[in-house]
A = this chain, B = another copy of it.
Amino acid sequence: MSLRYALLGHLAYEAASGYELTKRFEQEFGHYAWYARHTQIYPELNRLAAEGLIEVVAEGARGSRTYAITAEGRDQLRHWLTNPPQEQHARNEGVLRLFLLSSLEKEDALELLRAKAEECEREAKQLRAISEEIDRHAEPGGKLPFGRIASEFGWRSYEATREWALWAIKRIEET
């Protein structure tokens, strides 16, 4: 069910083709929020169009179709966003791996944690650079670019994970 709202959300920000949406799902958006492949995206776009939540607003080269959200789609998206469920759960392989580290031998765990801390540092720096780049190019007073809120969340998440990994290294070394 979430996939359709992920798609509606993208299209609420701006019209796009299935191909363009697919690429976005492969970037920060799919990295933190919701990942999907083109094989799931195209059929869902067709269903959304059949239900009148989105519509084709342009056709381009190679059979590409640009979709835009309809008023009905915007209503449903708004309803979903403003009615969050009480409980929620995750399925994140990266975090799962971190949680299971304590089942490894001390040295194996420390090695993986050190590698993770370094990876997080690299990623945080990169996303911070992307954030600043977006800010430089944004016209002042214009709408907050879609990727901007994601990149900010991304670097803060990586930074928090890095600090957690450093804490875990210390705790494990103490034992």
How far apart sit A175 and B149, CA to CA, in the bound complex (Å)?
14
- For chain A, residues 149 to 169, give those with C-beta under 8 angstroms from any C-beta of chain B: 149-150, 152-153, 156-157, 159-161, 163-164, 167-168
| CB pair A6 B96 closer than 8 Å | yes
A42 at the interface (CB under 8 A from B): no
- Whether A35 contacts B108 in the complex (CB less than 8 A), given A99-B9, A160-B156, comes out as no
How far apart sit A167 and B31, CA to CA, in the bound complex (Å)?
21
- Whether A13 contacts B153 in the complex (CB less than 8 A), given A82-B112, A96-B2, A144-B172, comes out as no
Among the stretches A15-23, A46-54, A55-63, A84-92, the one at the interface with B is A84-92
Given contacts A35-B89, A82-B112, 15 further A-B contacts (CB under 8 A): A2-B96, A30-B89, A33-B95, A33-B99, A34-B95, A98-B149, A99-B150, A99-B153, A102-B146, A142-B175, A143-B175, A144-B175, A152-B167, A153-B161, A156-B160
A-B contact pairs, 8 of them (CB 8 A): A5-B100, A9-B96, A31-B90, A78-B104, A81-B101, A82-B104, A99-B153, A149-B171
- For chain A, residues 105 to 158, give those with C-beta under 8 angstroms from any C-beta of chain B: 108, 112, 141-144, 146, 148-150, 152-153, 156-157
